Amino acid sequence: MRDVAIIGVGLTKFGERWDSSIKELMAEAGLAALQDANITSKDINAIYGGSMTPGRFIGQEHVAALMADQLGLGNIPATRVENACASGGSALRQGYMAVASGIHDIVVVGGVEKMTDVSTSEATTALGGAGDQEWELFQGITFPGLYALMARRHMHDYGTTEEQLAAVAVKNHANAYKNKYAQFHKLITIDEVLNSKKVADPLKLLDCSPITDGAAAVVLAPLEIAKKYNDTPIKIAASEQASDTLRLADRESITSIKAARISAENAYRHAGVTPKDIDVAEVHDCFTIAEIIAMEDLGFFKKGEAAKAIEEGRTQINGDVSVNTSGGLKGCGHPVGATGIKQAVEITWQLRGEAEGRQVDGAEIGLTHNVGGSGATAVVHVLKRAD
Amino acid sequence: MKTSKEKKGINMAGIVGYGAYIPKYRIKVEEIAKIWGEDAESIKSGLNIMEKSVPGIDEDSATIAVEAARKAIKHAGIDVKKIGAIYVGSESPPYAVKPTATIVAEAIDANTSLFAADLEFACKAGTDGMQIAMGLVESNMIKYGMAIGADTSQGGPGDALEYTASAGGAAYIIGEEKKEIIADIIATAGYVTDTPDFWRREGAKYPSHGGRFTGEPAYFKHVINATNALFEKTGMHASDFAYAVFHQPNGKFPIIAAKQLGFSESQITTGLLTPRIGNTYSGASMLGLAAVLDVAKPGDKILVTSFGSGAGSDSFAIEVKEPIEEKRKRIEESVESMIERGRVYLDYASYLRNRGSIEKK
Amino acid sequence: MEKSPADLWRHVKSRYFLLGSVCENCGTKYFPPRVVCRKCGRNTKMKPYKFNGTGEIYSFTTIRAPADEFEEQAPYTVGLIKLDEGPIIEGHILTDESNEPIKIGTRVKVAFRKMYKEGNEGLIYYHYKFVPAPEQQKKQEKSKQKRA
C-alpha cells in the first residue's frame, strides 16, 4: 500500500447550465484538472466516474466511458460508480484504492450530473431513487420529506429550532457569495429562509439544496512521484466508507447518520488526527439539518449542540472549524454525482492556499463528508498538505 | 306464526356480525344551492336533507367496503378464514372490470377458496348480496358469507341528485350458528320489473333519471309490493315490527312509504339516515339497518326493504337475538357516532376536488 | 414511472394488511417482509407475520412539494410510525382539523385507502395509512397514570 496524492483539480461553474450538455460539463472539468496537474492524456491509466442517475435525467448511461472519450484518454479502463448522492465520494475512494494498491499509477476521478433538462417534479422523482423505491418513494415520501422527518425528530430530541436550521443556509450562502464557481451569489437572511416556500415542514425552499448542473474532476498519483506534477500535492490521508440500511425507518437512529460516524472514526484513526485537528471541512448539506447532523457525526460538536454552535458562528470561515467554505451543497449547488469530487477540489484549494476570497488561514488538514440518500452510504476523506 | 322454513325444521341463516363506515367529510345543502342559485331552504324541506357525506380524496367504494368488512369481522368475532363467500354491491366500483370483492378478500386476508363477485342492481345490490349469502349458508355450501353495500355515488352538477348522492357502506356476515347470530333473518321476499327510472350507460360520467317518474311507478311500487309480499309470506304486519328501514333516496320517500304500509314515523326514525348523510346508494338500507342494530334489543323485529332502480326491492323480516348485547361491546364506532363525530365541512370546490371532478393538469 | 401489474400483485399482502416477517431463530419482527434476518444471517428462519396496525408516531412531516403521482393529494402528511410489535415503518397519516394536532407520540391505528391511480386507464394502488387513535391515547395515558 502506498500513499496517494491529488495532483490536479478542475471544476465547472455550477448552476443551470442551459448551454452545456453532460459531455461539455465533463470535458470542462476534466480539461481543467489535466491542465492543473500539467499531465498528458497518455499518462492517465484509469478513470472513475461518479454520476447518480444520468439515465433518468437525460437517458444517458455508461458515463465513465463517455468521460474517457470526451477527454481523449484512449483505451483506459473506465468505470462508473453510483451510490446516489455519494457517487462522487465513492468514485474518489475507488480511484484512491486503485492507486494505493499499485494497480494503477495516475488516475482521473470525475463526477457529473446534468439535472436541468427535466421538470422539477421529474427531478424529485429521479432523486427519490436514492431512497427505498417501494416504501419511501412509492408512498410519495420525497427526499426533502425524509430529511424533514430527521429534522422534526432532531428538534424534538434536542430542541433544535427552525432559526438554527436557517443559520446553516445563511452561512453557506455567505460563503458561496465569494466562490466564483458557486450557483448562488446572493446573500440571504434568517427571515428570508423562514419565510421561503414550505417544502416538507419544517424544511422550506431555502433549507434545501438546489437542482444543479455541474462537473468536477481530480487527478490522483502516488505521493512519491506527485511533486513531478505539482508543488503542493495534497495527500489523501484517509479514505473511508460505510453503508447502512436503505430505508430511514430501519436505522438505529434518525438523528444521526451511522455510516458517517463509522467512516469518520475510521478516517480519523487512519489519518492519525482528531476532529479538533480539522481546519476546514466540506460536508453534505443537502438540507440544512444535514449539516447540523454532520457536525455531530463528525465529532466537531457533541450530540444536540451543533445547531447552537452554528448559530453562534463557530463554523464560519476561520471559526473553530471552517465548514462548507465553497458554499456547500446549499450555496454552491448540488449536481449530485459531482458533489463528492467538488468537495475534494475545494479542500485541495484551501490546503494549497488558493481559495480566492474565502481562504481559511493556515489550513493544513481538511475533511470531506459525502452522504448517499438519507444515509445508506457515507464517504469521509481526510486530506493533508504533503509538502 | 311459523314460517314454512321453520315448519320444515331447517336452520335459518342470520346476521352474525356487521360493520359500517361513513367518511367524515360533509357538504351542506346551502353550499351546493348557492352555486346554482337555488333556494336551500326549500330543497332542505322538500327532500328532508341537510347535508351529505363526501369521500376523502383517497377513498372510494373499495376502501369503504374494506373498512366496513374489517369492522364486521371484529364485531362477529369469527375466523376470517371460514368466510366462504364475499359479494360487493356498488354502482360506483373503482373498476368497470376487475372486482372489488377480491380487493376486499385480500385486505381481510380471507381464504383463497371463496365464492366472490361484484353485484350491480343500483341501490339494492348490497341486499342482493345478503340474499345470495343466505342461500349459500342455508344450503351448507359455506359456513359464513359476507355481503357488502358500498358506494361513492355521483350526482351530476346542477342535478337534483347532487344534493343527495353520498358515500358510505356496510358489511354483513351471514351465518347459521345459533349462538353467534345477533339477528335472525326470518324471511326475505323480492319484487322486480323492468322499469327505466334511473340509469347510467357505460362511459357516462353521471346517471340520468326520469324525474317524478322515479316516485310512484318506481320507488313506491317496488317497495310497497316487496314489503307486502314479505307480509304475506310471514303473516306479519307493520305493528309486529319495532323498527322499519326503507331505502332512502331522500328523507321524504321512506316516510311516505312507511305510512302507506302502516308504519308510524317513530318506527322509521332510527334507520332514516339520509337527512344527515345523504343517500349512500348500495349502502343506504344496510347502513339504516346497522343504525337500528346498534340500539335494538333481543326480541325486536326489524323490517328492511331496499330499492334498486331498474327496478326492484328486497324485503327482509329480521328478529334480534340475545348475542347482540355481548357483541355490541366490540363496536368502537356506532353508526350514530360516525354520523356525528369530527365532521369536516367542505366548500363546493373542495367537494369537486375530493370527488375527482376537477384534477390538476 | 409506470409499474407492472406484477409489481402491484407482489405487494398486495404487505400493503393491504401489513404482512411482514418474523425470524423464528431470534424472534425479530420485520416490516416490510424480507428474506435475510439482519441478526441471524445464514441461520435465518423467516416466516410470515401479520402486524396489528397500532403504534405511535415517531416523526412526521407535511409534504407540500409532492412527488409525481401525488400532485392531486398535496399537501399530505407522512410519518414514521413505531408499531407496537417493534419495527418503525413509513406511512401516510390522515390528519386534519377534526382531530387533535398530531405530535411525536400520538397513538395511531391502521386504515385502508388509495395511494394513487395510474391516470384514467391504469391500475389503482391501495395501501395502509394511519389515523390518530384517540381511544388508545386515553388508554395509554390511563395506564401511565396507574403506574406513576
> In this complex, do C59 and A249 lie within 8 Å of one another by their Cβ atoms?
no
Read off the pLDDT band of C72 (50, 70, 90). confident
Could you give the CA distance from residue B316 to residue B245 in angstroms, rounded to a whole number? 10
Query: Is the predicted pLDDT of residue B354 greater than 70, yes or no?
Result: yes
Could you give the CA distance from residue A384 to residue A233 in angstroms, rounded to a whole number? 9
Do A319 and A252 sit in the same domain of this protein?
yes
Interval B166-191 mean pLDDT: 96
Q: Looking at beta carbons, which residues of chain A come within 8 Å of C58? A: 153, 254
CA-based nearest distance C76→chain B, Å: 11
- Chain B residue with the nearest C-alpha to that of C120: B95
pLDDT at B3: 54
pLDDT at A122: 87
Q: How far is CA B135 from CA B36, B138, B176, in A?
A: 47, 5, 11
For chain C, list the contacting chains (3+ Cβ pairs, <8 Å): A, B
> What's the mean pLDDT when you consider all of chain B?
94
- Chain C residue with the nearest C-alpha to that of B102: C12
Which of A209, A210, A162 is CA-nearest to residue A190?
A: A162
Q: Looking at beta carbons, which residues of chain A come within 8 Å of C87? A: 249
Do A206 and A216 sit in the same domain of this protein?
no
Query: HEC string of B10-46?
Result: CCCCEEEEEEEECCCEEEEHHHHHHHHCCCHHHHHHH
Query: Is the predicted pLDDT of residue B4 greater than 70, yes or no?
Result: no
Side-chain half-sphere exposure of B272, counting CA atoms within 13 A: 22
pLDDT at B6: 52
Full DSSP string of A172-219: HHHHHTT-TT-S------HHHHHTSPEEETTEEGGGB----BEEEEEE
Do A229 and A244 sit in the same domain of this protein?
no
pTM of the model as a whole: 0.92
Read off the pLDDT band of B9 (50, 70, 90). very low
Do A187 and A228 sit in the same domain of this protein?
no
What 3-state DSSP class applies to B354? helix
Asked whether the beta carbons of A222 and A4 are under 8 A apart, the reply is yes
Do A222 and A310 sit in the same domain of this protein?
no
B185-324 has the same fold as B9-181+331-355: yes
> In this complex, do C113 and B107 lie within 8 Å of one another by their Cβ atoms?
no
Do A57 and A194 sit in the same domain of this protein?
no
Catalytic residue among B75, B123, B138, B209: B123
CA-based nearest distance C90→chain A, Å: 7
Q: List chain B domain ranges.
A: 9-181+331-355, 185-324
Do A157 and A250 sit in the same domain of this protein?
yes
User: Do A and C touch, counting CB pairs below 8 Å (3 needed)?
Assistant: yes
Side-chain half-sphere exposure of B258, counting CA atoms within 13 A: 25
Q: Looking at beta carbons, which residues of chain C come within 8 Å of A125? A: 1, 67-68
Residues of C with CB under 8 A from a CB of B: 12-13, 16-17, 19, 50, 71-73, 92, 94, 96-99, 111-115, 124, 126, 129, 135
> In this complex, do A153 and C104 lie within 8 Å of one another by their Cβ atoms?
yes
Percent of chain C with pLDDT over 70: 98
CATH architecture of B185-324: 3-Layer(aba) Sandwich (3.40)
Catalytic residue among B59, B91, B138, B180: B91
Burial of B360 per CB tally in 10 Å (0-12, 13-18, 19+)? exposed
> In this complex, do C98 and B332 lie within 8 Å of one another by their Cβ atoms?
no
Sort strands A78-81 and A46-50 into parallel, antiparallel or unpaired. parallel
For chain B, list the contacting chains (3+ Cβ pairs, <8 Å): C
DSSP 8-class letter at B262: T
Angle between helices B125-138 and B284-293 (to 10 degrees): 60
Q: Looking at beta carbons, which residues of chain B come within 8 Å of C126? A: 62-63, 66, 103, 107
Q: Indicate the number of domains in chain A.
A: 2
Give the best residue of A119, A139, A254 to mutate against chain C (max C CB count within 10 A).
A139
- Chain C residue with the nearest C-alpha to that of A200: C63
Could you give the CA distance from residue B92 to residue B64 in angstroms, rounded to a whole number? 11
Query: Is the predicted pLDDT of residue C1 greater than 80, yes or no?
Result: no
Query: Is the predicted pLDDT of residue B264 greater than 70, yes or no?
Result: yes
Do A341 and A292 sit in the same domain of this protein?
yes
Does B345 lie at the interface with C, CB-CB under 8 angstroms?
A: no
Instruction: Give just the sign of the alpha carbon dihedral B343, B349, B350, B353.
Output: positive
How confident is the prediction along chain A (387 residues), in pLDDT tens digits per residue? 999 999 999 999 999 999 999 999 999 999 999 999 999 999 999 999 999 999 999 999 999 999 999 999 999 999 999 999 999 999 999 999 999 999 999 999 999 999 999 998 889 889 988 999 999 999 999 999 999 999 999 999 999 999 999 999 999 999 999 999 999 999 999 999 999 999 999 999 999 999 999 999 999 999 999 999 999 999 999 999 999 999 999 999 999 999 999 999 999 999 999 999 999 999 999 999 999 999 999 999 999 999 999 999 999 999 999 999 999 999 999 999 999 999 999 999 999 999 999 999 999 999 999 999 999 999 999 999 987
Query: Is the predicted pLDDT of residue C69 greater than 90, yes or no?
Result: no
Active site residue A185: no
What does the block give as the cell for B231? 307480509
Asked whether the beta carbons of C76 and C62 are under 8 A apart, the reply is yes
Catalytic residue among A154, A173, A284, A334: A334
Asked whether the beta carbons of A84 and A130 are under 8 A apart, the reply is yes
- Mean pLDDT lowest among A17-26, A42-51, B106-115, C2-11: C2-11
Interval B119-148 mean pLDDT: 97
pLDDT tens figures, A173-205? 999 999 999 999 999 999 999 999 999 999 999
pLDDT at B1: 52
- The whole domain housing A17 covers 4-118+212-234
Q: Looking at beta carbons, which residues of chain B come within 8 Å of C50? A: 109
Query: Is the predicted pLDDT of residue B11 greater than 60, yes or no?
Result: no
pLDDT at B5: 53
Which of C144, C110, C119 is CA-nearest to residue C15?
A: C110
The per-residue b/e assignment along C61-99, b for 16 or more CB within 10 angstroms, e otherwise, is bbbbbbbbbbebbeebbbbbbbbebebbbbbbbbbeeeb
Do A75 and A137 sit in the same domain of this protein?
no
Do A150 and A34 sit in the same domain of this protein?
no
Catalytic residue among A85, A208, A286, A332: A85
Read off the pLDDT band of C71 (50, 70, 90). confident
In the sheet that C29-30 helps form, which strands lie side by side, from edge to edge? C29-30, C19-23, C46-50
Does B202 lie at the interface with C, CB-CB under 8 angstroms?
A: no
> In this complex, do B63 and C126 lie within 8 Å of one another by their Cβ atoms?
yes
Reported as type and span, the H/E element at residue B216 is none
Which of A132, A124, B177 is CA-nearest to residue C14?
A: A132
Do A193 and A91 sit in the same domain of this protein?
no
pLDDT at A48: 98
CA-based nearest distance C147→chain A, Å: 24
Q: Looking at beta carbons, which residues of chain A come within 8 Å of C104? A: 152-153, 156
pLDDT at A219: 98
CATH number of the domain residue A33 falls in: 3.40.47.10
pLDDT at C148: 65
pLDDT at B10: 43
CA-based nearest distance A205→chain C, Å: 10
> In this complex, do C124 and B94 lie within 8 Å of one another by their Cβ atoms?
yes
Type of residue numbered A278: I
Asked whether the beta carbons of B127 and B306 are under 8 A apart, the reply is yes
Selected from 1.10.600.10, 3.40.47.10, 3.40.190.10, 3.40.50.2300, the CATH number assigned to the domain covering B9-181+331-355 reads 3.40.47.10
> In this complex, do A149 and C80 lie within 8 Å of one another by their Cβ atoms?
yes
Do A75 and A187 sit in the same domain of this protein?
no
Active site residue A334: yes
For chain A, list the contacting chains (3+ Cβ pairs, <8 Å): C
